[in-house]
Structures are given as structure tokens and as C-alpha cells.
Amino acid sequence: MTRSEENYLKTIFHLGGGNAQSITTNAIAEQMETKPSSVTDMAKKLADKGLVNYVKYQGVSLTDSGIKTALSIIRKHRLWEVFLVKKLDFAWDEVHEVAEQLEHIKSEKLIDKIDELLEFPKYDPHGDPIPTKDGKFMERDEQLLSEMPVNTQGVCVGVKDSSAPFLKFLDKNNIALGHTIKVLEKEDFDQSLHIEMQGKELRISHQIAANLYVKKNN
């Protein structure tokens, strides 16, 4: 498979929420920053390889083989992110672009060895679950911080937005995975939050809260 074909499969997988849901060519084009006609051409190629189902005007969905292939690519990407952070001291806002290149390496033996070296991590540096070799995810009960009721607390376990600017903002404000966050107040006007974390209080916007995943404390 070409790098472009792999990128399309990964994009369709993410847009479909990890299942065989049908995605419009316009949605794929917007995500890939390309023309719908280019998506149609690629969909036909992937359909010929048995990786997607494509019906004109009805969108594109992954076949079982397509889902398996997409999960393999995602597994490589997230393992490389862990490797870059744990073994090469990359910051978590630096690894995505590098992993985008490394995920296309074909050697399954190499990826298995990295998985073993890292002691089979369940999550990447951004809190996203890493698929196992047979395509299974670690289930986790999580919700967005923006949805947490006042006077409840939870542990920050992931980010919805893994862009470098957002991650740098979190670093600047000492917001990190593993920190316990308590919601003290929610503004009716703009849904911004007054929170307590690591013994300090701060205010964050609704946009920030809507991009942080927390696991609620019992």
C-alpha cells in the first residue's frame, strides 16, 4: 500500500468513530485538505483492493479488512509516539508529525519489538488507547471536562485536541495527564470553568475544557 492509501484509511477510520459507518467524500476531502474528486478516485482504488465499500452518492465505509489495516497503522503511530517520548525525550507536542512519517514503516517485527521494549503500553502520550496486535482497544470510562458537574472531580486522562499549540498551552499552565481536576464553578454566560488542580485554582475556557478527557473519581 502507498502512504497516501494508508492515510486515507486512517482518516476514514477516525471520521467513522472506529466502525464501518459510511462517510461522505466531502467530509473526507475536508479532513484530508483535498478535492472531493480526488477522494472519489482513491475510494475506487481502495474498493478494488477490498479495503472500503464505495457507492456513488452514498459515501465510503471501511470493510473488515480496511478496519484491520487502519488499526495497524494507528497502532504503529501511537507506539512510535510513546517511543519518542519515553526513549528519545521528545516533548508530547513534538511527536505527532514525526510519528506520521514513522507509521508507514512496513516491518511488523520492528513494531512488535518496540511494543515489547516499551512494556506493552496501553495509551500514547496524549491518552489515546493503543490497539493491540489483534486490534483491540483498552476500554476506559471517560468524559470531557466540560461535561463534568460542579463539585465533582476526576483525573485528566487524555486530550481531544493533540495539536502542538494546545499541548504547549497545557504545559504552560501545568495541566498534565494524571493530574486531578475539581470543578469549582461553571459560568452560565460562556461555560468557562473555575477549577482546582495540584493545589491551585485557575479559570479555563469552555474550549479548553471541551478538549480534556477526565476519568471521574468514585
CATH number at 34 reads 1.10.10.10
Three cell numbers at 124? 500514547
Final residue before a domain boundary, out of 62, 89, 104: 62
Q: pLDDT tens across 90-109, in order?
A: 999 999 999 999 999 999 99
Cβ contacts of 216 within 8 Å, gap of 6 or more? 141, 143, 148, 152, 153, 154
The predicted structure's pLDDT at residue 1: 87
Is residue 117 assigned to a domain?
no
CA distances from 205 to 67, 88, 143, 191 (A): 36, 33, 17, 7
Residue 122 covered by a domain: no
Q: Quick one: average pLDDT of 70-88?
A: 97
pLDDT category, 72, cuts 50, 70, 90?
Answer: very high
Q: How many other C-beta atoms can be found within 10 angstroms of the C-beta atom of residue 64?
A: 10
- Domain end point (choices 46, 62, 78): 62
Residue 54 belongs to some domain of the structure? yes
> Is residue 107 in some structural domain?
no
CA distance 111 to 45: 27
* Residue 50 within a domain: yes
DSSP state letters, 168-200? HHHHHTT--TT-EEEEEEE-TTT--EEEEETTE
Q: What is the number of domains present in the chain? A: 2
Residue 209 pLDDT > 70: yes
Instruction: Give the pLDDT of residue 19.
Output: 74
Instruction: For residues 101-123, give the mean pLDDT.
Output: 95
Last residue of a domain, one of 39, 62, 85: 62
Using CB atoms within 10 A of its CB, is residue 160 exposed (0-12), middle (13-18) or buried (19+)?
middle
105 within some domain: no
Q: Which domain holds residue 10?
A: 3-62
Instruction: Give 158-196 pLDDT, tens digit per residue.
Output: 999 999 999 999 999 999 999 999 999 999 999 999 999
pLDDT for 69: 95
Whether 97 is covered by a domain: the verdict is no
60 neighbors 43 (Cβ within 8 angstroms): yes
Output the domain CATH number for residue 193.
2.30.30.90
Is 111 inside a domain boundary? no
The whole-model pTM stands at 0.89
d(C-alpha 196, C-alpha 212), whole Å: 15
